[in-house]
Structure 1
Amino acid sequence: MASASYKLSPWLHRWLNRRIPAAKHQRLSHRSIFILPSGFGLMWLLLSLLLFLFGTNYQNNLVIGLSLLLGSIFVSAILYSYRNLAGLRLSALPAPDVYAGETVAIPLKVTADSQLYQINLSYPAGDVVTVKEVASQGQIAALPLPTRHRGYLSPGRLLVESHYPLGLCRVWSWVDMDNPLLVFPAYHPDKVRLHSIPGGGEDSPLYQFGIDEFCGLKSWHPGESLKQVAWKQFAQGRGMLSKEFSDPHGDPVWLQLPANLCGEALEQALETLCWQVDQLAKQNCVNWGLQLDKQQLPPAAGEAQRIACLRALAVYQPLTMTEASDEQQ
C-alpha cells in the first residue's frame, strides 16, 4: 500500500474552498475534475511530434500517419480519463472510536453513475487505497489515517485520482468531505478510584460500589435462572420462590481530574481517566460522574455516559490564570 505525500499550499486551499466547498456528499463533475498529461503522456506527445517531423522531413506518409494515430489515441485518452471520474459520488460515514496513537479507518461510501475503474483515494497523512471497480450499487472504502493527539482532527482534503485507461493522463480532484474526527486520549492504565464529593473525600474502590443486595422473595416463574431459587425455603415446603436483588443507592461517586496540572502531567492524567472511564463502563458500574474543573457530567451509566465522558476528556482545556483565580475567589 503506497503512502500519500502531498501538501496543499494556503492559496490553493482558499481557491478550492471557493470552487469545491466542503460537504458530506460530493459528486464529481467538470467543475471539480482536473486533468493533465502524465509523465508517460508527455513522452507519448514528444514521440508523436518527433515522428511527425521525421515523416515530413523525409516525406514518408507511413511515419506521418503513425504520428497522427498516436496523437488521436492521446486525445481519446483525455476523454476516457475524464469519464472515469465524472459522476463519481462520495459519501462520508461515521468513523469508529479512536484513541490517540491509533490508526483510524475512515469509511467512505463510493458509488458511480456508470462503471469506473482504478480509483485511488488518499488523505495527506494516510496511505493510498485503490478501488478497482466502482458500480452503481456502491461499496465502502476504509482509508487509514494515523492519529497522534487527542481532540478534533481534520483529515484534510481527499485526493481522488486515476490514470485509467492507458496512463497517458492524470485526472484528479481534491474534495473536502466535512468529516472531522474526535480523537480520545490514549490509554494509561491505573487503579480506578471513585470519589464521593458530598460525603467528604474518602476514596471508594471500584468494586465496593454497585453490588447487588438481597431485598426479598417472590414467586418463581418458569424460565428464570435456578441460581435465583431460594432452596432453603423450598426444603421447608414453602414452594418455589426466587430471590430478588437491588442495587444500593448511596451518594453519587465521581471520577475527578487532579487540580493544578499542566503539560505532560495533565495529558497523563487525562489518559488515566480515559482508561478508568472504559473500565467503569465494562464493569457496568452505576451512578458515577466525571468532574473536570468547573465542568461536571452528572452521574449516570451505560454507553451514552461512556461516550459523553470520553468526548469531554478529548476536548478538555485547562483553566487560564484568570479563570483559576476567579474560581478560587
Structure 2
Amino acid sequence: MWLRRKRAPVNGVVTLDRRHLYILPTRGGIGFSVLLATMLLTSLNYAISLGFALTFLLAGIGMGCMWMAYRNLLDLRVSAGPVTPAFVGECAIFTLHVDNQDAAARIGIEARTPLSGADTETAALTLDGVSSGTLPVRLSAIRRGRLVLPRVTLSSRFPFGLFRVWSYADLGLATVVYPAPEASPPPLPRHPQSDDADDGAASFAADDGIDQLRRYRPGDPLHRIAWKHSARTGKWLTRSGHTPQQPSCWIDWNTLPPAMDTEARLSRLCAWVLMAGEVSEIGLRLPGVEITPGRGSAHVRACLEALALWPERRAR
C-alpha cells in the first residue's frame, strides 16, 4: 500500500511536504459537521435567517481550522538526534530534531510509533517562527538487544482538535537495551590476573617511593610516562599515581553457578559491571567474547553492550 512506503531521509532530513501530509476529521470534527448539518436543515425547515448566518459562519470557521491544521505541519524538516540506551524495563529515548524554516509558529506537534502504547507519555512540541527544537520518542525496552525505532508518525490537532494532520518519517535510528541488573547481587568478585607479567599490568615502585610505576599500556597518556625510569630499565613504564595499582578484576561467565539460566547470569554480570563503575579496572569474559581489563565510562559501556548483544556478538 502506498501509505506504507518507507520515507527514508534525504541527506539525513525528512521534509513533510504537501505530497506526504494527510488530514481527516477527528471525532470532534465529525460531531461538529453533524451539528452544522442539523442547523442547516432546521434553518431551511423554519426559514430562520439568523440560523443560516450562524451555520455558514461556523462552517467558515471549520474550513479555516482545516487549513490551519494542514499548515501547522507543512514543510517541517525532521532529522535524527541522539539516542539514549536503556535497561530492560525502562524506556529508551530517541530524540528527533524538528526544524521550522517558516515565519509562522508551529503548535502542538506530537510523535508516536506503532510500539507506543496508550499509556506511553507523548511530548508535544511548539516552535516559534524560524526556529528548531527536539521531540523525544519513548519506547518501552521489553527485551535486551538492539532496539530499532520503527516508523514515526508526526501529527497535530491544532487549533481546535477538529482535524488531525499527520505524516510519516523512517529515520533508521537504533539503540541498545542492556540486561536488567540484578536487584541484590553478591559482592563484586576480586580475582587478580594470573598473567600480570605477560600483559604488562605489574607494578613497580619508584625510587623516591612517591609514585607507583607499571608497565606501559596502549592508550596511556604521554604525560604519565616515566621517561627516566623507562630509559634506565629499557622498558616502557607509566606512573600510576600515589597509590598502588589495584589488581584487575575479571567478571567471568564461568564463575557463576551452573543452575542459573542465561538471563539471570547476564543480569548478575550487568550488576557487577555497574558496581565496578568507572573506578575499578575490570575485564569481561563471556562464551566467545572477551574484553580486556580497562576502566572509564567508555569501557563500562563496551561491557554493557557486550552483555546486551550476546550471543550475537562473538569473537570470530
Q: TM-score, normalised by structure 1?
A: 0.69
Instruction: Report the AA paired with residue 305 of structure 1.
Output: H
Tell me which residue corresponds to 2:177. Answer: 183
String of CA shifts for 1:253-284, please: whole Å, max 9, x gaps.
63221389999721111111112223334323
**Is residue 146 of structure 2 the alignment partner of residue 152 of structure 1?**
yes
Instruction: Give SS of 1:171's match.
Output: strand
Q: CA RMSD in A?
A: 3.6
Instruction: Report the AA paired with residue 20 of structure 1.
Output: R
Deviates more, 1:268-277 or 1:125-134: 125-134
Tell me which residue corresponds to 1:55. Answer: 43
Distance 2:311 2:2 in 1: 33
After superposition, residues 305-320 of structure 1 pair within 5 angstroms as: 305-317=299-311
After superposition, residues 135-214 of structure 1 pair within 5 angstroms as: 135-188=129-182, 189-195=185-191, 214=205
Instruction: Report the AA paired with residue 7 of structure 2.
Output: I
Tell me which residue corresponds to 1:120. Answer: 110
Instruction: Give SS of 1:91's match.
Output: strand
Distance 2:45 2:259 in 1: 74
Tell me which residue corresponds to 1:265. Answer: 261
2:20 to 32, 35, 38: 32
Q: TM-score, normalised by structure 2?
A: 0.71
Cα drift, residue 50 of structure 1: 2.6
Tell me which residue corresponds to 1:73. Answer: 61
Larger radius of gyration: 1
Q: How many residues align?
A: 271
In structure 2, the CA distance between the partners of 1:92 and 1:104, relative to structure 1 (3 Å rule), is same
Instruction: Report the AA paired with residue 278 of structure 1.
Output: L
Cα drift, residue 186 of structure 1: 1.2
Identity between Structure 1 and Structure 2 (%): 25
Instruction: Give SS of 1:216's match.
Output: coil
Instruction: Report the AA paired with residue 142 of structure 2.
Output: R
Distance 1:306 1:272 in 2: 15
In structure 2, the CA distance between the partners of 1:35 and 1:198, relative to structure 1 (3 Å rule), is same
After superposition, residues 236-315 of structure 1 pair within 5 angstroms as: 254-258=250-254, 265-285=261-281, 288-315=282-309
Given that residues 111 and 135 in structure 1 are in contact (C-alpha distance below 8 angstroms), is that contact kept between their aligned partners in structure 2? Answer: no
Instruction: Report the AA paired with residue 277 of structure 1.
Output: V
Distance 2:312 2:84 in 1: 27
In structure 2, the CA distance between the partners of 1:318 and 1:154, relative to structure 1 (3 Å rule), is closer
Tell me which residue corresponds to 1:227. Answer: none
In structure 2, the CA distance between the partners of 1:318 and 1:25, relative to structure 1 (3 Å rule), is closer
Given that residues 213 and 245 in structure 1 are in contact (C-alpha distance below 8 angstroms), is that contact kept between their aligned partners in structure 2? Answer: no
